[in-house]
């Protein structure tokens, strides 16, 4: 298969998600991966986030939700920020002391511009190369990993379809690599 895949193995996923926290500490890169895994946003949408999108500087608290206009679909999306996302953002915030209008995932030399997609790809690729057996991991794998594990934990297919803005469950199954998992399960359960 030549397409981007989700990270299916939980141990590899744990190592991947904490690579920039424990192995090669880098708060920005860690926050990028944690937000990518926990919000299911496309990398283009993640890179456009600014600090005021995730943090209320007036109340000095992280927001409960992100309100984002998706670049690809043009649709608004309202996404809850979970504890893991907020903890990663807190560590990052404590390290960089941002201003409201700074891009969340900014260049080291320029807070008024986000890193580009190529840099984000290199960040994800390095963590994946060091922690997973898969070479089919890219930025989009974070979105697919969210969906795959949500499905494995019992998220309803219709909910995942809506979350990803897919037109059918078949599209969602192909997107997450669920079809092959379901086929493998049948083969492995048969004991003739």
- Active-site annotation, residues: 42, 72, 140, 143, 166, 175
- Domains of the chain: which residue ranges? 10-155
Structure tokens at 168: 């059918």
Over its length of 192 residues, how does the chain's per-residue pLDDT go in tens digits? 458 889 999 999 999 999 999 999 999 999 999 999 999 999 999 999 999 999 999 999 999 999 998 888 888 888 999 999 999 999 999 999 999 999 999 988 899 999 999 999 999 999 999 999 988 999 999 999 999 999 999 998 889 988 888 888 888 888 887 767 777 777 888 877
* Residue (of 148, 132, 131, 150) closest to 140 by Cα position: 148
Q: Contact 168/161 with Cβ under 8 angstroms?
A: yes
Q: What is the pTM of this model?
A: 0.91
Can you count the helices (H) and strands (E) in the chain? 10, 4
Cα 189 to Cα 132, 182, 186, 192, distances in angstroms: 26, 11, 5, 10
Q: Contact 100/115 with Cβ under 8 angstroms?
A: no
- Return the beta strands (E) in the chain as ranges: 55-56, 61-62, 65-69, 76-80
Q: Of 1.10.443.10, 1.10.3720.10, 1.10.287.70, 1.20.1050.10, which CATH number belongs to 10-155?
A: 1.10.443.10
């Amino acid at each position: 298969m030549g397409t981007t895949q989700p990270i299916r193995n939980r141990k590899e996923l744990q190592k991947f998600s904490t690579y920039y926290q424990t192995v090669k500490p880098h708060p920005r890169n860690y926050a990028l991966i944690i937000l990518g895994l926990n919000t299911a946003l496309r990398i283009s949408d993640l890179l456009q986030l600014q600090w005021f999108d995730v943090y209320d500087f007036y109340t000095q608290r992280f927001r409960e939700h992100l309100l984002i206009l998706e670049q690809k679909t043009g649709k608004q999306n309202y996404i809850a920020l979970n504890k893991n996302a907020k903890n990663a953002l807190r560590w990052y915030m404590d390290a960089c002391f941002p201003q409201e209008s700074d891009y969340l995932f900014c260049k080291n030399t320029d807070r008024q511009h986000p890193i580009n997609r190529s840099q984000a790809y290199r960040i994800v690729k390095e963590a994946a190369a060091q922690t997973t057996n898969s070479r089919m991991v890219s930025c989009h794998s974070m979105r697919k990993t969210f969906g795959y594990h949500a499905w494995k934990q019992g998220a309803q297919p219709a909910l995942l379809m809506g979350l990803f803005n897919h037109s059918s469950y078949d599209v969602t199954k192909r997107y997450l690599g669920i079809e092959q998992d379901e086929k493998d399960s049948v083969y492995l359960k048969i004991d003739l």
